[in-house]
Amino acid sequence: MSEFLEIDAPAKINLFLALTGKRGDGFNQLISVISKLELKDTLKIRKSGKPGSLALTCPEYPDLETTQNLVVQAIDAWRKESGENMGLEIVLDKKIPLEAGLGGGSSDAVAALLGVNSLSPDPLSEEKLLAIAAKIGSDCPVFLQPGICQVEGRGELVTPLDLPGRCNQEILLFRPPLGHPTGQIFQIFEKIGKYSEEDGARKKIKQWQSGETALQDFIYNDLEQAVFSKYLYFAPLYEEIRNQFGLHSMLSGSGSASFSLLPQDFDREADLRAMIMDSLGEEVWFCRTRLHS
């Protein structure tokens, strides 16, 4: 039996997320800046079993071992596009929490695409992989590009940003013991939210990219309008973090994970975690990580 090929599936955060209007296809038009993180899932894949077979194992989350998993959907889409039908065994080691706004499912799907494509004697082109990724989910295409990217459309238009020296920023991720279904958050936004002005959003990105604006003044998320209306604890918690620690915090995507920007050599993490647990409960998930190139 062949050895496993191991593929990293990094988490992401939205450093900037502006929704600029409703599209004709029902999606929201967005302009976003997304950074991958050192936090990652790991996907192992190898040829195995009968043609057309797929054995998916996810030890930490056995409930994910279904056809609803984006990994399975990615493999199915790749097989349909390529015409190949090799049997596969996949082991998914998950570290990224679910329904957190950290892109775990999308990143796993792209890792599966890259993995199966690498095993093929006739791999698909980058263009075809991008087309498959865009059909699987709006967050998927960005995981085909390294580093910090500007993302537009519904997520399918991805441009890597040249930001030397920007990938050393440390953050503390924290997630309450409940997830946010993405579709539900967007529905709330469409009822009560105010769309951003496109030209203004582009200007803010350019100012940050050029160094005119510091990261703590740049981070922004339109979906906080929806989340703060449903979950009342986020806004006062962010304010308390800023008052006590001088840190800027924000929701990633639709949540439920948030992040606080940490200064170099930040040594009050234990106190910060304790304060967050006082607000969100002792079952809060934490991860200290950094932006990843």
Would you name the residues annotated as active-site residues? 12, 139
Name the pairing type of β-strands 170-175 and 220-221: unpaired
Among residues 251, 103, 282, which one has the least CA distance to residue 171?
Answer: 251
Dist. CA 39–CA 9, nearest whole Å:
9
Q: 3-state DSSP call for residue 210? A: coil
Residue 29 exposure: Cα atoms within 13 Å on the Cβ side: 11
Dist. CA 225–CA 228, nearest whole Å:
6
Where residue 52 falls (left for φ over 0; alpha for ψ -120 to 50; beta otherwise) is left
First and final C-alpha spacing in the chain: 34
Where residue 113 falls (left for φ over 0; alpha for ψ -120 to 50; beta otherwise) is alpha
Specify the DSSP class assigned to residue 86.
-
Helix axes 70-82, 104-119, angle to 10 degrees: 30
